[in-house]
Amino acid sequence: MKSRYSHAALGIVSKVTILGVFVGLLVTSPGHSLIVSGQDSNPDLSGKWESKHKADSNWADTSVTQEGTSLNFHNEYGGKSKGRFASSSEVVADEWENGLRAKVTDGGNRLEWANGSIWRRKATPLAGNWESDFKKGTWAPTNVRQEGGKLWFTNEFGDTSEGVFESATRVKATKWEGGLGATIENGNRIKWDNGTTWRRR
């Protein structure tokens, strides 16, 4: 009796079966996964921070160092703890209070610890008068207004955009070009992703 399946059809079935086995091995084998663990979506928390434990207390200097998903927290008392991301919106300080957890909020600019302490990113001072090289070789006045981690950019045409810190060295003008990002260099230059540079006046 002749088989109902042609050689070509059997070949396709075999290839699909082999591909399925290969994908299964990638997903289940240690160290090989098609599903990203979330590392690429974790915010950049590295940099200088400041902490307030009570509403009436002053802000005190803290900091975070980061390498991949590994974190190191330094509190206002000189204490240190190794830490990690539990998810892109939660971190754990493993050596504090048997694994003290914090929610990551405000786009990675605020840590709300389970013990009531609040950490906020210590923003680079950007407020003041700047100038833009929107025409190469010609500098035109611009301005940055800042209140804590909130920013307002005014360009050489008088257009204004609200802005936010994405990290200690990255900002975004939320109303320009669908969210125009920029890198801060030494607190004296803002290098926009569209090629424009601002420098302090």
Within-domain flag for 32? no
50-83 pLDDT tens trace: 999 888 889 999 999 999 899 999 999 999 999 9
Tokens at 129, concatenated: 């008068």
Quote the pLDDT of residue 197: 96
What is the distance between the alpha carbons of residues 144 and 91, in angstroms, rounded to a whole number? 32
159-169 pLDDT tens trace: 999 999 887 78
Quote the pLDDT of residue 124: 84
Asked whether residue 61 falls in the same domain as residue 115, the answer is: yes
Quote the pLDDT of residue 135: 80
Asked whether residue 54 falls in the same domain as residue 115, the answer is: yes
Residue 49's Cβ-side half-sphere holds a number of Cα atoms within 13 Å equal to: 26
151 with 165: CB under 8 angstroms? yes
Q: How confident is the model at residue 201 (pLDDT cuts 50, 70, 90)?
A: very high
What is the distance between the alpha carbons of residues 79 and 73, in angstroms, rounded to a whole number? 8
Q: Which of 69, 97, 121 is the last residue of a domain?
A: 121
Total domain count, the chain:
2
Quote the pLDDT of residue 57: 85
Q: Which domain holds residue 146?
A: 128-200
- Is residue 10 predicted with pLDDT exceeding 60? no
Tokens at 186, concatenated: 């030494």
Residue type, 13: V
Asked whether residue 116 falls in the same domain as residue 135, the answer is: no
Bridge-based pairing of strands 118-121 and 100-105 is unpaired
Asked whether residue 148 falls in the same domain as residue 111, the answer is: no
Quote the pLDDT of residue 149: 79
Strand pairing partners for 199?
131, 189
pTM confidence score: 0.57
Tokens at 189, concatenated: 């230059």
- The DSSP output letter for 108 is G
16-52 pLDDT tens trace: 444 443 334 333 333 322 223 344 589 999 989 999 9
Asked whether residue 48 falls in the same domain as residue 116, the answer is: yes
- Is residue 191 predicted with pLDDT exceeding 60? yes
Q: Could you give the angle at the alpha carbon of 73 between the alpha carbons of 70 and 76, nearest 5°?
A: 175
Quote the pLDDT of residue 11: 52
For residues 114, 118, 122, 126, the Cα torsion angle rounded to the nearest 10 degrees is: 120
Asked whether residue 97 falls in the same domain as residue 144, the answer is: no
Q: Which of 69, 103, 121 is the last residue of a domain?
A: 121
149 with 105: CB under 8 angstroms? no
100 with 113: CB under 8 angstroms? yes
Quote the pLDDT of residue 78: 95
Asked whether residue 187 falls in the same domain as residue 150, the answer is: yes
Asked whether residue 134 falls in the same domain as residue 196, the answer is: yes
